[in-house]
């Protein structure tokens, strides 16, 4: 009789198999739910890379411009020792008549970019929206920052903040500084 009893106890019953399947399914559903929530809550890495590339390019464009007392087109740009010595002093706003997209009168000074923004990332050469970047918004803020850097003259340095907002409304800001190290070099 003991041989027959051992044969009867081998394997799983249908109830045990169903309970095992239910327990494993519930555990797997929980793990997949956590993975799904994590993936949905994370920022799309491609959007972040594009935002950083856009912000870096725009920050480099702005900080590479002249930072002179006068507008670089002013006849007195090479001799002025302050904004008072200019016919057209360069402030923190676009010089009238200048545009980032103009081939004849483009932005030519860091101050021209103060308050600049664009909906859809545009090619500076022809103002066309770059394919695939139409959902991004970029803006530039330029403020005096000399005193924040320990300089006696607050207007001797500028802080440039470039903010780029992605199509999913996440925003990043890159900050750079520009000093007036060559005030007569357009």
d(CA 109, CA 11): 83
Residue 184 lies in a domain: no
Domain count along the chain: 2
Count of alpha carbons within 13 angstroms of residue 183, beta-carbon side: 16
Is the pLDDT reported for residue 159 higher than 70?
yes
Residue 29 lies in a domain: yes
Same domain? For 31 and 50 the reply is no
Is the pLDDT reported for residue 51 higher than 90?
yes
Same domain? For 58 and 36 the reply is no
Q: What count of other Cβ atoms lies within 10 Å of the Cβ of residue 109?
A: 25
Is the pLDDT reported for residue 9 higher than 70?
no
Same domain? For 83 and 100 the reply is yes
Same domain? For 156 and 71 the reply is yes
93 and 111 Cβ atoms separated by less than 8 Å: yes
Same domain? For 54 and 118 the reply is yes
Same domain? For 94 and 130 the reply is yes
Residue 15 lies in a domain: yes
Same domain? For 49 and 33 the reply is no
Residues in Cβ contact with 142 at an 8 Å cutoff, skipping those fewer than 6 apart: 62, 92, 110, 111, 113, 114, 115, 158, 159, 160, 161
Same domain? For 16 and 98 the reply is no
Q: Which domain holds residue 99?
A: 45-179
Residue 186 lies in a domain: no
Average pLDDT, whole number, for the chain?
A: 88
Same domain? For 160 and 92 the reply is yes
Same domain? For 21 and 96 the reply is no
pLDDT one-digit tens code per residue, 91-104: 899 889 998 988 88
Residue 155's closest CA among 178, 124, 138, 184? 178
Residue 185 lies in a domain: no
pLDDT one-digit tens code per residue, 16-46: 888 889 999 999 999 988 888 877 666 678 8
Same domain? For 156 and 98 the reply is yes
Could you tell me if residue 120 is left (phi over 0), alpha (psi between -120 and 50 degrees) or otherwise beta? left
Cα angle, residue 137 at apex, residues 133 and 138 outer, rounded to 5° = 110
Q: What is the pTM of this model?
A: 0.74
Same domain? For 79 and 119 the reply is yes
């Amino acid at each position: 009789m003991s041989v027959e009893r051992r044969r009867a106890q081998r394997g799983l019953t249908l109830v045990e198999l169903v309970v095992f399947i239910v327990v494993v399914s519930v555990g797997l559903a929980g793990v997949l739910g956590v993975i799904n929530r994590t993936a949905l809550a994370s920022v799309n890495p491609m959007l972040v890379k594009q935002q950083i590339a856009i912000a870096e390019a725009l920050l480099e464009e702005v900080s590479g411009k002249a930072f002179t007392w006068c507008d670089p087109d002013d006849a007195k740009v090479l001799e002025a020792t302050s904004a008072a010595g200019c016919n057209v002093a360069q402030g923190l706003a676009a010089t009238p008549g200048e545009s980032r997209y103009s081939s004849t009168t483009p932005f030519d000074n860091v101050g021209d970019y103060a308050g600049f923004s664009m909906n859809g990332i545009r090619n500076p050469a022809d103002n066309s929206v770059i394919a695939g970047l139409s959902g991004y918004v970029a803006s530039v803020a330029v403020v005096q920052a000399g005193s924040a850097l320990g300089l006696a003259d607050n207007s001797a340095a500028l802080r440039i903040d470039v903010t780029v907002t992605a199509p999913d409304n996440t925003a990043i800001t890159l900050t750079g500084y520009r000093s007036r190290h060559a005030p007569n070099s357009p």
